[in-house]
Structure 1
Amino acid sequence: MNNQDHFKFSTGVVAYPISFVLIIWLVFWFEVRFGFDFNKFGVYPQTLKGLRGVVFSPFIHGSIQHLYHNTVPLFVLSMALFYFYRPIAWKVLVFGIIVSGFLTWCIGRPSYHIGASGIIYLLVSFIFFKGVFAKHYRLIALSLLVVFLYGSLIWYALPLEEGVSWEGHLSGLITGLLFALTFRKAIAKPKKYIWEQPDYNHDDDPFLKHFDENGNFIENLNPEIEQEQPTIKYTFKENKE
Structure 2
Amino acid sequence: MAYDAQQQKKWSAGGRVLAAGKVMIVWVALLWLLEGVDVVSGHALDSFGIEPREPSELVDVIPAAFVHFGFAHVAANSVPLLVLGFVAALQGLRRFFLACALIIVADGLGVWLVAPDHTNTAGASGLIFGLFGFVVLSGFVERRPLGIVIGLLIAAYWGTTFLAGLSPANEGVSWQGHLIGLIAGVGAAFVLRRPPGTSGAPRPTG
How does the TM-score come out when normalised to structure 2? 0.83
Q: Which residue, 62, 65, 82 being the options, matches 1:58?
A: 65
Gaps in structure 2 of 5+ consecutive residues: 1-8, 200-206
Superimposed CA distance per residue, residues 8-52 of structure 1 (whole angstroms, 9 cap, x where no aligned partner):
332321111111111110110111223233222111111112212
Percent of pairs identical after alignment?
27
Aligned AA (2:128)? I
Are residue 182 (structure 1) and residue 191 (structure 2) matched? yes
Q: How many residues align?
A: 185
Task: For 1:78 and 1:54, locate their aligned partners in 2 and report how far apart those are by CA, in whole Å.
Answer: 20
Structure 1 residue 9 corresponds to structure 2 residue 17: no
Select the structure with the greater relative contact order (CA < 8 A; seq sep ≥ 6): 2
The verdict on how the C-alpha distance between 1:50 and 1:84 changes in structure 2, with shifts beyond 3 A counting, is same
Letter aligned with residue 38 of structure 1: L
Counterparts in 2 of 1:106 and 1:8: CA distance versus 1, 3 Å: farther
1:232 is matched with which residue? none
Residue 122 in structure 1 maps to residue 130 in structure 2? yes
SS of 2:78's equivalent in the other structure is helix
Specify which of 97, 122, 144 is matched with residue 136 of structure 1: 144
Residues of 2 paired with 1:38 and 1:87: CA distance? 29
Maintained 8 Å contact 2:136/2:150: yes
Taking the TM superposition and a 5 Å limit, the aligned residue runs for 1:160-179 are 160-179=169-188
SS at match of 1:69: helix
- Report the more deviating stretch, 169-178 or 127-136: 127-136
User: Where do residues 1-241 of structure 1 align in structure 2 (5 Å cutoff)?
Assistant: 8-10=13-15, 11-110=18-117, 111-152=119-160, 153-184=162-193, 186-187=194-195, 189=197
**Residues 108-127 of structure 1, C-alpha deviations (whole Å, 9 max, x = no match):** 11211011000100000011
Q: Does structure 1 conserve the Cα–Cα contact (< 8 Å) formed by 2:38 and 2:46?
A: no
Please identify which structure carries the higher helix content: 2
Q: Return the alpha-carbon distance in structure 2 between the equivalents of residues 9 and 103 of structure 1.
A: 37
Equivalent-residue separation in structure 1 for 2:103 and 2:49 (angstroms): 16
Counterparts of 1:174 and 1:187, CA distance in 2: 22
Instruction: Name the CA shift for 1:38/1:190 in 2 (closer, same or farther; >3 Å).
Output: closer
Counterparts of 1:28 and 1:87, CA distance in 2: 27
Computed over aligned residues only, the root mean square deviation of the Cα atoms, in angstroms, reads 2.0
Alpha-carbon contact 1:137-1:190 (below 8 Å) kept: no
| Offset, 1:188 | 5.0
Letter in 1 for 2:35: F
Moved over 6 A (4+): none
